[in-house]
Amino acid sequence: MAQDTLDASVKATDPTAGKSKVELRNVSKSYGDEWEQQRVIDRLNVEIKPGELTVIVGPSGCGKSTLVNLIAGFEFPDSGEILLDDKPVTGPARDRMVVFQETALIPWQTTYQNIVFGPKLRGDLRGKALQQEADRLLAKVGLSEFKHKYPLQLSGGMQRRAELARALINNPRIMIMDEPFRGLDAMSRGLMQEFFLRLFEENRRTNLFVTSEIDEAIFLADRIVVLSNRPAQVRTVIEVNLPRPRDYKMLASAEAYAIKREAMAILHEEAMKSFKAGSGADFAEAYGKDGGGGH
């Protein structure tokens, strides 16, 4: 494939690398057989703009990871289209790298071995060039001293950083992050968000970041796409015009607070819908009486 003949060391200096756009047009996806179909995504339209950090927020179980799998090419839509730089996505490729919540590091390989695994397997970056690129990325994610350690010897935050380096060595056209910091303690999560922001602000690679945390969304995003309850549809798109480089204090600004109010109101409404549809109906009824807990 022409894509695979691209030399990663050449791509690394290409100023347009990582400046891709993704468009989802009327994308629908259902699971199940013809007897019991469950529509997870319903005529979804989303635009991920070049060099922007687009954050998707939505209630638990609304179809966020399904959306990620579709863009990554692990799954295919039933109808509609997904375009990467105007060309339909036909399957997984290293131009779209996904970092998941669950660690995907290979446990019996060191940090260094994990990072060089992909390029080595494909043979598109070798020898000294590969070594130099891996060392550069290890330094960038602050793991130089841990290059010979195994994943289990790393903290949760370090594992996520190793995964970032492992994705970045492929110099993808878009980075896709599916709740990558979920499960980290609050302090590590905050630090990872700041670390990730610095990395993004450095070269503004097109990014799709999925989260269920509204503060995380506001802190990171250029634009927040708020999804409905399942089947996922776009409820609203919020532009976040906080200046960059960002710092945590900006979350206390009037603008951040206004965004939070707007997004929380929608998310609360959508979460209640899923509660009512499920076993939480009694709770939802009781809780809904006071107007939804006063967010």
Ligand X SMILES: Nc1ncnc2c1ncn2[C@@H]1O[C@H](COP(=O)(O)OP(=O)(O)OP(=O)(O)O)[C@@H](O)[C@H]1O
Q: Which residues bind ligand X (CB under 6 A)?
A: 31, 40, 58, 60-66, 212, 230
In the bound complex, what is the minimum distance in angstroms from residue 161's beta carbon to ligand X? Answer: 22
**Least Å from the CB of residue 247 to ligand X:** 28
Q: Are 4 and 124 in contact (CB under 8 A)?
A: yes
Query: Which partner, Mg ion, ligand X, none, binds residue 257 by CB below 5 to 8 Å per kind?
Result: none
CB–CB of 91/76 below 8 Å?
A: no
Secondary element (H or E) of residue 222: none
CB of 145 to ligand X, least distance (A): 33
Q: Distance between CA 47 and CA 195 in Å, rounded? A: 25
Judged by beta carbon distances under 5 to 8 A according to partner kind, the member of Mg ion, ligand X, none in contact with residue 61 is: ligand X
Among ligand X, Mg ion, none, partner that 31 touches (CB below 5 to 8 angstroms by kind): ligand X
What is d(CA 141, CA 195) in angstroms, rounded to the nearest whole number?
A: 8
Q: Is the peptide bond before 245 cis (omega within 30 degrees of 0)?
A: yes
Whichever of 8 and 62 has its CB closer to ligand X, that residue is: 62
What are the φ and ψ backbone dihedral angles of 63, each rounded to 5 degrees?
A: 120, 15
Which are the contacts of 243, defined by CB distance < 8 A and separation ≥ 6?
A: 250
Site for Mg ion in 57-96 (CB under 5 A): 64-65
Instruction: Mention every residue, 6+ apart, whose C-beta is less than 8 A from residue 182.
Output: 101, 211, 212
Query: What is the total count of residues that contact Mg ion (CB under 5 A)?
Result: 2
Which residue lies nearest Mg ion, judged by its C-beta? 65
CB of 138 to ligand X, least distance (A): 30
283 binds, among ligand X, Mg ion, none (CB under 5 to 8 A by kind): none
Per-residue x/- mask for Mg ion, residues 5 to 44, rule CB under 5 A? ----------------------------------------
Of 121, 115, 134, 110, which is closest to residue 12 (Cα–Cα)?
Answer: 134
Q: Of 64 and 161, which CB lies nearer to ligand X in the complex structure? A: 64
Helix (H, G, I), strand (E, B) or coil at 118: helix
Examine residue 211 and tell whether it contacts Mg ion (CB under 5 A): no
66 binds, among ligand X, Mg ion, none (CB under 5 to 8 A by kind): ligand X
Structural contact between residues 122 and 174, judged by C-beta atoms closer than 8 angstroms: no
Q: Which residues bind Mg ion (CB under 5 A)?
A: 64-65
